[in-house]
Amino acid sequence: MKGFNTRSIHEGEEEKVKDAVTMPIFQTSNFLADDSKYASERSETFYTRVGNPTIGVLERKLASLFAGTGGVFFSSGMGAITTVFHSFLKHGDNIVVSKNVYGGTQSLLRELPDEGVEVRRFDQSDYGSITDLLDARTRIVYVESMVNPNLILTDIEAVKAGIYSSDALLVVDNTFLSPYNFRPLEFGADVDIQSLTKYINGHSDVVAGFAGFKNPETESKVRRKMVQFGTNGAPFDAFLVNRGVKTLGPRMEIHNRNALAIANYLKDRPEVLRISYPGLGRVPDCYGNCPGFGGVVYFEMRDRETAKRFMRSCSIFQEATSLAGVESLVTVPSLTSHASFKESELAEAGISPGGIRLSAGIEDIQDLIEDIKWAIKECVR
Ligand SMILES: *Cc1c(COP(=O)(O)O)cnc(C)c1O
């Protein structure tokens, strides 16, 4: 098999359209019934909700990068999560989920009981408790490989061992690491979901999602639901993601390197009470060969006001939600994503009021460190 970067560029693009070097945008809703010339690989290409050559190229490429047998492109990361959940969960079934997951997923989980689906939670650090939560109606066990915002890594092999005797699918949201750093399907996951909005597109100009699969039967169930729900992504967005993913490897190398340098700088600053970045410590075995741990760094200043002044004093790090683009961002979760949480709920989610999340972009590291140095000086005086 060719290397990751070679596949990021060429996989799925073997068939050329009118001698074009790269795959163009098929900005069309439908296709002539008898024109199968550019759709030879996918006989279902007759209507874009069902299939489209630009989307097909991206799906084959991402499936390869995810180490899967196939994959489905969605309008958003949440579109992927919603569709995967509803492909397997029926009235009377249950889903087993780790306590801390992405806010949008929490919101979806809160409403599953209204549809007759029971949600059973386990503490991310207590893998032993998973087995007790399983029964014959457990269809999905759902975790995130790296949890936001305090960046704890989930031991995917331990979760897999805990559900060994069950038929439940192991579904992993791997958005924070990207397939360049980690591939859950290689460690026993059945489905790897990622928000393409983050590292894979990487340029903060598309919202899209993807689910990669270990086997074709799982994929075909989800693909059917995608067509029924209309959670398909658009050809133009697939074109942009296909362009973005060609530089995923080189971008991740810089995100990884910049974040590690920032983490090392912050850990020696007396004003910083606590820092979390997986690259600084021991990691579960399944992450032993990761080239790095992405661009997100979480650290804590003494209180909310200090964190707010830090955020306002940055100039290269822009204050905005989301992460994983080429530009660096800063956010204070207790003021933004988790603003509605009480102190006790923040503590339960492992978030301090003075917690700050940085998303290191791919700017020059000396400029990023200067920005942080200045912001620390401003915020503590
Ligand atoms: C952003 C994100 C999502 C949702 O993706 P969208 O593309 O915004 O719908 C899901 N999971 C994680 C971990 C994310 O960071």
- Which residue has tokens 């005797």? 165
Q: How many CB atoms lie within 10 A of CB 358?
A: 29
Gyration radius from the chain CA atoms: 21
Centre of ligand 1 from the C-alpha of residue 100, in Å: 14
Name the residue among 19, 17, 48 with its Cα closest to residue 31: 48
Angle 340-193-95 from CA coordinates, rounded to 5°: 70
Report the length, in residues, of the chain.
381
Q: Which residues line ligand 1 (CB under 6 A)?
A: 76-78, 102, 104, 144, 148, 173, 175-176, 195, 197-198, 207, 209
120 a catalytic residue = no
Domains within the chain, CATH numbers bracketed: 4-245 (3.40.640.10), 248-379 (3.90.1150.10)
Characterise 318 by phi-psi region: left (phi > 0), alpha (psi -120 to 50), beta (else). Answer: beta
Interatomic CA distance for residues 322 and 114, integer angstroms: 29
Q: H or E segment at 202?
A: none
Of 26-40, 88-102, 162-176, 328-342, give the lowest mean pLDDT range.
Answer: 26-40
**Catalytic-labelled residue, pool 49, 99, 302, 304:** 49
Count Cβ atoms below 10 Å from residue 52 Cβ, excluding itself. 28
Chain-centre distance for alpha carbon 11: 21
Active site residue 102: yes
The C-alpha atoms of residue 158 and residue 287 are separated, in whole angstroms, by 12
Q: 49-66 pLDDT, tens per residue?
A: 999 999 999 999 999 999
Q: Which of 25-29, 258-262, 349-353 has the lowest mean pLDDT?
A: 349-353
Is the pLDDT reported for residue 378 higher than 90?
yes
Residue 280 has pLDDT above 90, yes or no: yes
The reported pTM is: 0.95
Residues 6+ apart with CB under 8 A from 314: 330, 371, 372, 374, 375
CB-side exposure of 278: number of CA atoms within 13 Å? 29
- Ranges 36-45, 295-304, 328-337: which has the least confidence: 36-45
Does the pLDDT of residue 351 top 70, yes or no?
A: yes
Q: Is residue 35 over pLDDT 70?
A: no
